[in-house]
A = this chain, B = another copy of it.
Amino acid sequence: MKSEHLDATFAALADPTRRAILARLALGETTPTELAKPFDMSLPAVSKHLKVLEHAGLISRGRAAQARPCRLEAKRLKEAAEWMDRYRRFWEASFDRLDVFLDELKKEKSRGGQK
């Protein structure tokens, strides 16, 4: 998990249009022209967002000169999700509290056994 990858991934994800483009590509690969339609955006505006996503490795582009279809790439999203996972215990604190409670219960029990 490279720090520069995370920089580029999170910066690319910090825009609602780029997240919407990824959501569209999650349904299947498509061309920039098709991508521009539902977003009511000009092709140059979409192309700018696609460049950011491609630079971050979140999408790849086909070689066909005219169309250059875009495809979602999951690897960098996986890295970012793995980074997030380190913090999972903070929002799953209720489980932590349950663990503490169960540990206490075990200690109580073993203390009881020693009496």
Question: Chain A residues in contact with chain B, CB under 8 A?
Answer: 3, 6-11, 13-16, 19, 22-23, 26, 72, 74-75, 77-78, 80-81, 83-88, 90-91, 93
Q: List 17 A-B contacts (CB under 8 A).
A: A3-B16, A3-B19, A7-B16, A10-B10, A10-B11, A10-B14, A11-B11, A22-B87, A23-B86, A26-B90, A74-B90, A74-B91, A74-B93, A75-B91, A81-B84, A81-B85, A81-B88
Is the pair B83, A19 in contact by a Cβ cutoff of 8 Å? yes
A80 surroundings in chain B (CB, below 8 A):
84
Q: Give complex CA distance A78, B15 in Å.
A: 18
A77 surroundings in chain B (CB, below 8 A):
84, 87, 90-91
Given contacts A11-B11, A77-B90, 6 further A-B contacts (CB under 8 A): A7-B14, A10-B10, A10-B11, A19-B83, A81-B84, A81-B87
